[in-house]
Amino acid sequence: KKGNPKGFKSYEDVAKDATATIGAPGGGTEEKLALTAGVPRDRVIVVPDGQSGLKMLQDGRIDAYSLPVLSINDLV
């Protein structure tokens, strides 16, 4: 699905959607931010690298993907 079909604008938005999952690099700031915002551990999916996370998002295996800005720039 193109764009942002669930309309997420924050980690809190992901936390409020009981079915939503978010991908993030393991042990990084993004994983910690998601957990701090209330996303349950079982809905924070650790991804091994940027390309894998992007593929998971494109395939619908996660609903959102959080990366540092510099990493996002490398992917686009």
C-alpha distances in Å from residue 36, one per residue of 10, 56, 60, 69: 12, 23, 24, 19
Question: What is the predicted pLDDT for the residue at 67?
Answer: 84
Q: Which residues of the chain have pLDDT under 50?
A: none
Superfamily name and number for 11-75: Periplasmic binding protein-like II (3.40.190.10)
- pTM of the model as a whole: 0.85
Q: How confident is the model over 41-62, as pLDDT tens digits? A: 999 999 998 889 989 999 999 9
